[in-house]
């Protein structure tokens, strides 16, 4: 497993964001829809990075 393989998360996060927002929004207008999808996508990536950082810090604490 290479660190780059984590990038496979990105297309999956896009698919998840698109489906979630399609089901949530009552009226789909392109500009608003893209903005909403980008927000969900950004949130997923951000929290994944935060979770990875916390786990990395914990593993560093335990192995030091």
- The CA angle 32-15-37, to the nearest 5 degrees, is 20
Q: How far is CA 36 from the centre of its chain?
A: 13
Least Å distance, CB 19 to another protein, is 5
Q: Within a 10 A sphere around the Cβ of 54, how many other Cβ atoms?
A: 10
Query: Which of 5, 60, 63, 64 touches another protein (CB under 8 A)?
Result: 5
Query: How many residues at the interface with another protein, by CB under 8 A?
Result: 14
Query: Based on CB atoms, which residue is closest to another protein, 31 or 63?
Result: 31
Residue 15: CB minimum distance to another protein, A: 4
Alpha helices in 1-64 (DSSP H): 9-24, 30-63
- Report the interface residues with another protein, using CB under 8 A: 1, 5, 8, 11-12, 15-16, 18-20, 22-23, 26, 28
């Amino acid at each position: 497993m290479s660190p780059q393989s984590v990038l496979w998360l990105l297309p999956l996060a896009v698919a998840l964001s698109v489906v979630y927002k399609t089901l949530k929004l009552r009226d789909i207008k392109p500009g608003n829809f893209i903005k909403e999808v980008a927000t969900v996508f950004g949130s997923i990536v951000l929290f994944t990075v935060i979770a990875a950082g916390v786990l990395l810090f914990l593993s560093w604490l335990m192995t030091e």
